[in-house]
Amino acid sequence: MSTPLDFSYETRPVRVVFRPGGAVSATPGEAARLGLRRLLVVCGSRGEAIARLVADALGDACVGLHAGARMHVPVEVVGRAVEVARAAGADGCVAVGGGSAIGLGKAIALRTGLPLMAVPSTYSGSEMTPVWGLTEHGVKRTGRDPVVQPRSVVYDAELTLALPVPLSVTSGVNALAHAAEALYAPDASPLVSLMAEEGVQAMAGALPLVAAAPDSLEARSRALYGAWLCGACLGATTMGLHHKLCHVLGGTFGLPHAETHTVVLPYVLAYNASAAPDAITALSRALDTHDVPRALRELAGGLGAPRSLAELGLKEPDLTVATAQTVADSYANPREITANGVLGLLTAAYEGWEPRSDA
Ligand code: NAD
């Protein structure tokens, strides 16, 4: 090793239970461990059936089910959910579903201080982070607060059996993006880097198996295991250019979250490659490739994921607007962020060109 070790590492008090069937078999016990007896279950409208199973399993420890989660956590939605939680006398929440449902649970925790539990059903990783997001007047704000970090997370691969293959693939690459950026984060540390490499290997290995056999519990478990590790990386580090770009593209142009991550990631890694050689080496090992950007693009594209921002509905004039918004804000990235560089990257991603690592 050429550079001396210099890092800080913090763990947060989160308990993780990873078990097929755990949504029903483990959630009540987790609630009891936390001393929670009056839980409000929150979910999105399409996730109600799964959330109902959790609510039923909680029995008397559940005071209601609120299926009001919406994408990007609009403040009105939060206001209503907080009223429901207060009216029910809830002493905590259980968010069941993807990043949107967990986002609502976090927003309730932020407003009320109520402890949160999470039963994720996608690979978004939100359950492992103290990061919240709220949308007001069309603008999404995010922040970090330990109060929103779920105290207990139950990973149940059976819940993910119904996750459609296209969403499984893009949600999986969304997870890979967390791990990739954690490897070159300013607050990277050896343990997080090990989790990142293992997470990428697990997820990248699992996605083709999930696509070939969506109802394989083994493949789903492997993908969810990767999602856990990648989510833990997201929670532990500061994200860079990739997450910033996806935030701009989602927030300003309404592009879909996981698909945008999937299209953009190879281009950001090509852009950052020369400035983050150790991260690229770790990703090369995890993906078993000499060309990380191309391998990622082939992995997702080969499984039917979109390959260009144009396919996602971005328009050519949006490229300069997105570039200006991206460079206006300073944030951590291994390679200097220039307007020309970002415009070049976005243009390549817009057209869906082969990603090229350049200096
Ligand atoms: P999502 O929660 O919006 O879910 C996408 C769709 O999939 C929804 O229609 C949902 O009903 C459906 N779905 C979810 N699980 C399913 C299942 N098992 N079977 C069938 N359908 C299912 O999307 P997402 O990608 O999970 O999350 C994206 C959101 O999470 C974004 O708003 C993003 O900003 C946020 N996020 C936040 C963090 C954080 O740390 N705060 C991290 C990652 C993502």
Ligand 1 centroid–CA 120 distance in Å is: 9
Q: What is the pLDDT of residue 76?
A: 97
Q: Do 221 and 204 share a structural domain?
A: yes
Centre of ligand 1 from the C-alpha of residue 25, in Å:
23
25 found inside a domain: yes
Say how many Å lie between the CA of residue 101 and the centre of ligand 1: 7
Does 99 sit in the ligand 1 pocket, CB within 6 Å? yes
Beta strand 92-97 with 116-120 is parallel
273 and 198 together in one domain: yes
Q: Model pTM?
A: 0.96
Same domain membership, residue 334 and residue 224: yes
Structural domain includes residue 339: yes
Burial of 328 by CB count in 10 Å (0-12 exposed, 13-18 middle, 19+ buried)? exposed
Atom of ligand 1 nearest to the CA of 159: 18
Kindly state whether residue 359 falls inside one of the protein's structural domains. no
Q: How far does the centroid of ligand 1 lie from the alpha carbon of residue 124, in Å?
A: 6
Regarding the beta carbon of 44 and ligand 1, being less than 6 Å apart is answered yes
Rounded Cα distance between 163 and 169, Å, is 10
pLDDT (0 to 100) of residue 2: 65
Q: Is residue 356 part of a domain?
A: no
- Domain range for 70: 15-160
Nearest protein CA to atom 30 of ligand 1, as residue: 99
Q: Indicate if 153 and 26 belong to the same structural domain.
A: yes
Q: Is the CB of 260 under 6 A from ligand 1?
A: no
Q: Is 47 in the pocket of ligand 1 (CB under 6 A)?
A: yes
| Same domain flag for 153 and 243 | no
State whether the beta carbon of 98 lies less than 6 angstroms from ligand 1.
Answer: yes
Reading the block at residue 164, the tokens are 């459609």
pLDDT at 331: 82
Distance from C-alpha of 172 to C-alpha of 124, rounded to nearest angstrom: 8
Tell whether 45 and 171 lie within a shared domain.
Answer: no
Rounded to whole angstroms, the Cα distance separating 180 from 237 reads 11
Instruction: Determine, yes or no, domain membership for 357.
Output: no
Q: Is 100 in the pocket of ligand 1 (CB under 6 A)?
A: yes
* Torsion 310-240-173-155 (CA) sign: negative
**pLDDT at position 65:** 98
CA 230/CA 196 separation, integer angstroms:
6
pLDDT digits (tens, 9 = 90+) for 111-139: 999 999 999 999 999 999 999 999 888 77
Residue ending a domain, among 160, 176, 206, is 160
Residue nearest to atom 33 of ligand 1 (CA): 99
What number of CA atoms fall less than 13 Å from residue 37's CA on the CB side? 1
Q: How much is the pLDDT for 359?
A: 47
Residue 7 lies in a domain: no
For residue 140, the ligand 1 atom closest to its alpha carbon is 34
- Pick the residue whose CA is nearest to atom 39 on ligand 1: 126
d(CA 355, CA 345): 9
pLDDT by residue (tens digit) across 204-228? Answer: 999 999 999 999 999 999 999 999 9
Q: How many CB atoms lie within 10 A of CB 290?
A: 9
Q: Which residue has the tokens 């990631």?
A: 265
Same-domain check for residues 177 and 314? yes
Low-confidence ranges of the chain (pLDDT < 50): 359
Ligand 1 touching residue 103 (CB < 6 A)? yes
**Residues 170, 147 share a domain:** no
Give me the pLDDT at residue 1, please: 53
Residue 1, domain member (yes or no):
no
CATH number at residue 201: 1.20.1090.10
DSSP-based three-state secondary structure for 79? helix
The whole-number pLDDT of residue 280 equals: 98
- Distance (Å, whole) CA 359 – CA 355: 13
Domain count of the fold of the chain? 2
Q: Which ranges in 74-164 belong to alpha helices (H)?
A: 75-88, 99-112
Helices within 185-336 (DSSP H only): 190-212, 217-236, 241-253, 257-272, 277-287, 292-302, 318-328
Same domain, 201 and 278: yes
